[in-house]
Chains A and B, each alone.
Chain A
Amino acid sequence: MACQQEEDQRYLVVSKVKSAAKLATTETIIDKVVLGTQEKKLLGFVKVNKAHFAAYTQAIITTGVDLSKLQPSDIVIDEKRIELQLPAVEVLDFSYPFDRYRIDSTITQNKFLNKIDVLDHEQFYMMAELDIRNNLKYTGIKEATQSKTRILLEGLLKNLDYEEVYVTFRDGQLIQPISLDYEIED
């Protein structure tokens, strides 16, 4: 079973170049403070001590529209007037770069026989990434992206001699939500 699961995972990562047609119009930088703890217990109920970990991290989210989803029926042209219905804005790239992690050594504290090592750091970063992903919809990125995309395309279409330009967006999800109900393996 474990071998099969591994094989499935391997199959998903095939090194190849894929075609894309994504117009990125907005880049958002998000700050996230990663604050983690690790408790040491004796026999499962006697608290021994608690170690702390703190790091300042940033995520960079690029949003825009996927032009491959644009259909001819989404565009209505009437002489100098054009109506354009774009696909829903979505997250085109989610980046949580490791070179923007800064560990706060004044808060980060190991205790006796309770050390938070680099593997534990990775666990914290994984949890933090999920947290950021699930809270993106509350940040207002969608509205900001729609506004910037609209401005970009209105400018472009006016340069193509259109006098009336109307840009709308279809409804859709900004990003797939991730369920947190699973164990992080040690």
Chain B
Amino acid sequence: MLKFWSQIGLFLQVVLVVVAVVAFSLFDPFGWLKSKKLTLEDTPISVRSIREVGQLISAEYYGEVLTSLQESMVADIAENRSEDSITFVQLKQAFDEAVYDLREQKSTIRLKGFSQKKKLYALFYHQYSVTSHPFYQAFVHEMIDKKDASGNALRIGGKKIKSEKNLLKLLYDLDDKEIEPALESLDIGYPEMEARFREEVEVITGNKQFRKRQIVVLGRGWVKAGIDFGTFSEANFRYDKANRTIHLIGMHPEILRSTINPWFIPEKQIKGFEVVLITRRAKKPEYMQIVKKRTLQKLRQQAIQSGILHKAKENAEANLKSFFSLLIPEGIEEVVIHDDFFSYFDASFVSDTLTAATMRSIDSLFVSRYRTDSAAVVALRDTLKNRRVYLEERAYPANRYASRIEMAEDGTLDRQEMNWLQNERDQLVRHLALLQTHGKSNFQPHLLDSVWFFPGSEKVEVFREEVRKAFPTSFSWRKVISKHPDYVENQRKKRDRMRILVHEFMLKQKMTALDELTVELRNHIHQVVNGEVTYLDSTLALPGSTTNLENQSFEWASSQQMEALLPLDSSGIHSLKISTKPSTVTLSKTHAAMTTLQETWPVDQEKVLQKRNEILDSWTVKYAVNDSAKVSGYYLMRSYGQDARLDSSETKALLREFKALQEANSYLHDLKLSQQSRPLVSQQNDLLHHILYYPSPSQLDSMEIMVKDRRYWATAKRKRTLQKRYREVLLQRYIYRKRRQDFNVLLNELFPLVEEVMWEGVLYRRSNGVFGSLPADLHFLRRGKPYNM
């Protein structure tokens, strides 16, 4: 018995010692295990990057906020819920559009027989991408579970919503006047989202683990706001000298940085993050991150609520005014910062008058902004419809061609302006003719055409109705889902028809606008240059190479000749008046002619080739007073030599063409008839080269003889296919040879004109008539070594 008790006693002593050690380790009442002060090892700092910025900090906010971990977690739920709200609103819009679109197809899609709900459901999922959104299912369940105002299940058309298939069928079958209220009643609004949010918060805050974790932090930091000039360019800067006002456009005040550092003011030992309270279970880095993030957000919100952005804009305008006043001797009256060009134009419209120059700026704005901000562009366009563009004492409506009214400012229509007018009308007439006679359209509207002439929603609806009536065929839902060729062809025809209707509408509008411009020009013009002849108003008398038409004076505005001149005869390619006598033409006229040839090629190749021959035989392009050259496929590159310098882009273009011809040479050399030939290396002006160097009929006949005469065909299989390939190869080789010849001629003509060549940041100068040190890539430019391929 004694032994037993002594063993128990020993055991108890051991346990006591262990407990004492553990107790001292955990609680350490005498500080025997106190840690040494924390030591930071001496590690270097290294500069990762230094980059240029351009920011004006014009307002600073210093503040402090109190945040807790539990508050941060609940705030996260609220943020997610508000993001979900936005997503649901967007989903609802997409869903509504899909339902309207599906209902419009009732005449095209047949839904008969059994399982109509299932067919409709399959069709909906097949056609509309809204169904593949990650939140779509949650969104649909919200709609199905929705209650009406009295708390009962929502009904559509008097019927309960049992499932998604059921919902789609109900919406599909509703009358037209019932669909809109039905879709509105399905909106997922604030009460539903708020109820869901409260549910989630109750679940999370009721959790015991959640209640045991808490961190409370006092955060001190700053928020700085100002203007970021990172994307600033000349386009954003306008200096109004008359009013001594600087306009900065597209600049807006923003929060540049918001910071809470470990130290708020290190000199005074004031911490940035002061931990007021922390529980044992919350001592983890990830919880600390959540709290810090929330603290910074709150600081930022506080700064915005204090009006930091408004102050930043005010201060920026004042600071820049002071700064520019120091730099500009005459001083600056005001600096104004505009959010975008729309607000700039709104501010600068002091009266109802506009100038052609302003309209030009507005045109550029429309072109640059239409794709990203079409609503704002359309809104500005609508305000412009009430404005007038003034020229002398006449007012001209602000429209697509308003910027062109400046052609009349000098009272003369010169060749370039005349060419533009003729080409513009020719193109419109050609496109309209194609549409109306052949039912085809190759009209590619300019963005400005879309801005000014695209039909409004009502007109589009009329066109849609017309297309529906023109193609009344309906298809079974299976054919729709399986994309049956008949259905696909039907859809394609509908789309083409719609496009033709829209293009026809736009072209007619454009023609009307051009007519308005022409009428205005007539009212202002006293002198017109057409070809080689200048026509004058008979009341003027000037010496020189001008002539009154048929020595008769005529009333300018009502003259039949004037009617014929403005516009000229506009029946497509025939309007391109070519004289068989040698004539010197401008580069712009040549360009216009080449463009016309390319556009007409798909429609009438014979006529194009005829005109081409006339151009090549009789035209000489004038580049400068003592510089002209025959027309070739390189007529544009020929202008490179005018400033005696090849800049980087010009050198690059020449090198690119050189390499393209090299590649074509190798390709054609190695080509075998057993392989299908491909077009030569694609260049922007390949069609032009094809037209200009296309063989004459006699040359084509010779090629045909070569094709037919080969003994090879006697034993060859697939003779016709091979002959066809051979024909193509001969044609390609012919065009390539002509092109190469003309390129050599270009180089020989360019070389004497050029004194400097810019390439990869290095300027090479000619010395004693020779470019000695050109890099190997550019050796083809050197004189004395005509290029042989």
A and B co-occur in one complex: yes
Q: Which residue of B lies closest to A125 (CB)?
A: B262
A residues 78-129 in Cβ contact with B at 8 Å: 82, 84, 92-99, 103, 113-114, 117-129
Q: Is B62 an interface position by the 8 A CB rule?
A: yes
Q: Compute how far the CA of A114 lies from the CA of B36 in the bound complex, rounded to whole angstroms.
A: 11
Q: Are A121 and B270 in contact (CB under 8 A)?
A: no
What is the minimal beta-carbon distance from B463 to any residue of chain A, in angstroms? 50
Instruction: With A34-B43, A37-B39, A178-B266 as known contacts, state yes or no: A122 contacts B275, CB within 8 Å.
Output: yes
**How many A-B pairs with Cβ below 8 Å?**
232
Q: Compute how far the CA of A92 lies from the CA of B328 in the bound complex, rounded to whole angstroms.
A: 26
Query: Which residues of chain B come closer than 8 Å to A151, judged between CB atoms?
Result: 52
Partner among B45, B264, B319 whose Cβ is within 8 Å of the Cβ of A13:
B264
Partner among A29, A82, A98, A122 whose Cβ is within 8 Å of the Cβ of B49:
A29
Query: Which residues of chain B come closer than 8 Å to A133, judged between CB atoms?
Result: 266
Q: Is B326 an interface position by the 8 A CB rule?
A: yes
B residues 26-47 in Cβ contact with A at 8 Å: 26, 32-41, 43, 45-47
Q: Is B53 an interface position by the 8 A CB rule?
A: yes
Q: Mark B239-280, 1 if CB is under 8 A from A, else 0.
A: 000000000000000001101111111111111010100100
What is the minimal beta-carbon distance from A95 to any residue of chain B, in angstroms? 4
Q: Compute how far the CA of A52 lies from the CA of B237 in the bound complex, rounded to whole angstroms.
A: 56
Q: Are A29 and B48 in contact (CB under 8 A)?
A: yes
A residues 1-47 in Cβ contact with B at 8 Å: 9, 12-44
Q: Are B262 and A17 in contact (CB under 8 A)?
A: no
Partner among B26, B38, B49 whose Cβ is within 8 Å of the Cβ of A38:
B38
Partner among A36, A37, A75 whose Cβ is within 8 Å of the Cβ of B326:
A75
Q: Are A22 and B32 in contact (CB under 8 A)?
A: no
Q: Is B784 an interface position by the 8 A CB rule?
A: no
Q: Are A31 and B59 in contact (CB under 8 A)?
A: no
Q: Are A19 and B311 in contact (CB under 8 A)?
A: yes
Query: Which residues of chain B come closer than 8 Å to A69, judged between CB atoms?
Result: none
Q: Compute how far the CA of A78 lies from the CA of B354 in the bound complex, rounded to whole angstroms.
A: 38
Partner among B39, B45, B51, B234 whose Cβ is within 8 Å of the Cβ of A32:
B45
Query: Which residues of chain A come closer than 8 Å to B284, judged between CB atoms?
Result: 118
Instruction: With A20-B224, A120-B38 as known contacts, state yes or no: A31 contacts B32, CB within 8 Å.
Output: no
Instruction: With A16-B61, A38-B36 as known contacts, state yes or no: A148 contacts B52, CB within 8 Å.
Output: yes
Instruction: With A36-B41, A37-B39, A95-B257 as known contacts, state yes or no: A17 contacts B285, CB within 8 Å.
Output: no
Q: Are A132 and B45 in contact (CB under 8 A)?
A: yes
Query: Which residues of chain B come closer than 8 Å to A178, judged between CB atoms?
Result: 266-267
Query: Which residues of chain A come closer than 8 Å to B33, judged between CB atoms?
Result: 40-42, 48, 113
- Residue total for B at the interface (Cβ-Cβ under 8 A): 78
Q: Are B270 and A9 in contact (CB under 8 A)?
A: yes
Q: Is A174 an interface position by the 8 A CB rule?
A: no
Q: Is B423 an interface position by the 8 A CB rule?
A: no
Q: Compute how far the CA of A140 lies from the CA of B49 in the bound complex, rounded to whole angstroms.
A: 12
Query: Which residues of chain A come closer than 8 Å to B58, judged between CB atoms?
Result: 19-22
Q: Is B528 an interface position by the 8 A CB rule?
A: no
Q: Mark A141-163, 1 if CB is under 8 A from B, else 0.
A: 10010001001100001011000
Q: Is B64 an interface position by the 8 A CB rule?
A: yes
Instruction: With A26-B51, A62-B53 as known contacts, state yes or no: A99 contacts B293, CB within 8 Å.
Output: yes
What is the minimal beta-carbon distance from B311 to any residue of chain A, in angstroms? 5
Q: Is B220 an interface position by the 8 A CB rule?
A: yes
Query: Which residues of chain A come closer than 8 Å to B61, judged between CB atoms?
Result: 15-18
Q: Compute how far the CA of A121 lies from the CA of B303 in the bound complex, rounded to whole angstroms.
A: 28
Q: Is B179 an interface position by the 8 A CB rule?
A: no
Instruction: With A14-B62, A118-B285 as known contacts, state yes or no: A140 contacts B263, CB within 8 Å.
Output: no
Query: Which residues of chain A come closer than 8 Å to B547, judged between CB atoms?
Result: none
Query: Which residues of chain A come closer than 8 Å to B57, judged between CB atoms?
Result: 20-24, 92-93
Q: Are B257 and A160 in contact (CB under 8 A)?
A: no
Query: Which residues of chain B come closer than 8 Å to A122, judged between CB atoms?
Result: 262, 273, 275
Q: Are B257 and A62 in contact (CB under 8 A)?
A: yes
Q: Are B268 and A35 in contact (CB under 8 A)?
A: no
Q: Are B43 and A32 in contact (CB under 8 A)?
A: yes
Instruction: With A43-B32, A130-B266 as known contacts, state yes or no: A139 contacts B45, CB within 8 Å.
Output: yes
Query: Which residues of chain A come closer than 8 Å to B302, judged between CB atoms?
Result: 15
Instruction: With A24-B55, A95-B259, A98-B292 as known contacts, state yes or no: A39 contacts B35, CB within 8 Å.
Output: yes
Query: Which residues of chain A come closer than 8 Å to B512, judged between CB atoms?
Result: none
Q: Are B270 and A35 in contact (CB under 8 A)?
A: no
Q: Compute how far the CA of A33 lies from the CA of B263 in the bound complex, rounded to whole angstroms.
A: 18
Q: Are B47 and A18 in contact (CB under 8 A)?
A: no
Q: Compute how far the CA of A152 lies from the CA of B230 in the bound complex, rounded to whole angstroms.
A: 11
Q: Compute how far the CA of A62 lies from the CA of B55 in the bound complex, rounded to whole angstroms.
A: 10
Query: Which residues of chain A come closer than 8 Å to B769, judged between CB atoms?
Result: none
Query: Which residues of chain B come closer than 8 Å to A94, judged between CB atoms?
Result: 259, 261
Q: Are A119 and B54 in contact (CB under 8 A)?
A: no
Q: Is B329 an interface position by the 8 A CB rule?
A: yes
Q: Are B220 and A13 in contact (CB under 8 A)?
A: yes
Q: Are B54 and A39 in contact (CB under 8 A)?
A: no
Q: Are A96 and B261 in contact (CB under 8 A)?
A: yes
Q: Is B327 an interface position by the 8 A CB rule?
A: yes
Q: Are A12 and B265 in contact (CB under 8 A)?
A: yes
Q: Is B283 an interface position by the 8 A CB rule?
A: yes
What is the minimal beta-carbon distance from B326 to any residue of chain A, in angstroms? 5
Q: Are B329 and A42 in contact (CB under 8 A)?
A: no
Query: Which residues of chain B come closer than 8 Å to A103, judged between CB atoms?
Result: 285
What is the minimal beta-carbon distance from B92 to any residue of chain A, in angstroms? 34
What is the minimal beta-carbon distance from A1 to any residue of chain B, in angstroms? 15
Instruction: With A118-B284, A133-B266 as known contacts, state yes or no: A141 contacts B50, CB within 8 Å.
Output: yes
Q: Which residue of A lies closest to B264 (CB)?
A: A13
Q: Is B307 an interface position by the 8 A CB rule?
A: yes
What is the minimal beta-carbon distance from A115 to any residue of chain B, in angstroms? 9
Q: Are B47 and A139 in contact (CB under 8 A)?
A: yes
Q: Are B327 and A21 in contact (CB under 8 A)?
A: no
Q: Is B288 an interface position by the 8 A CB rule?
A: yes
Q: Is B135 an interface position by the 8 A CB rule?
A: no
Q: Are B261 and A114 in contact (CB under 8 A)?
A: no
Q: Are B283 and A144 in contact (CB under 8 A)?
A: no
B residues 90-133 in Cβ contact with A at 8 Å: none
What is the minimal beta-carbon distance from A176 to any residue of chain B, in angstroms? 7
Instruction: With A40-B33, A82-B327, A129-B263 as known contacts, state yes or no: A18 contacts B62, CB within 8 Å.
Output: yes
Q: Compute how far the CA of A109 lies from the CA of B306 in the bound complex, rounded to whole angstroms.
A: 44
Partner among A13, A24, A182 whose Cβ is within 8 Å of the Cβ of B64:
A13
What is the minimal beta-carbon distance from A4 to any residue of chain B, in angstroms? 14
Q: Is A164 an interface position by the 8 A CB rule?
A: no
Q: Are B315 and A21 in contact (CB under 8 A)?
A: yes
Q: Is B63 an interface position by the 8 A CB rule?
A: yes
Q: Compute how far the CA of A42 lies from the CA of B24 in the bound complex, rounded to whole angstroms.
A: 11
> Could you pull out 5 A-B pairs where Cβ atoms are within 8 angstroms?
A17-B306, A25-B54, A28-B50, A32-B43, A121-B285
Given A34-B40, A124-B38, A182-B269; 14 other pairs, CB 8 A cutoff: A12-B268, A13-B63, A13-B270, A15-B64, A17-B311, A21-B57, A23-B55, A26-B51, A36-B40, A36-B41, A75-B326, A128-B262, A131-B45, A139-B47
Closest 10 CB pairs of A and B: A15-B63, A35-B41, A39-B36, A21-B319, A22-B57, A126-B262, A127-B40, A24-B55, A125-B262, A95-B259
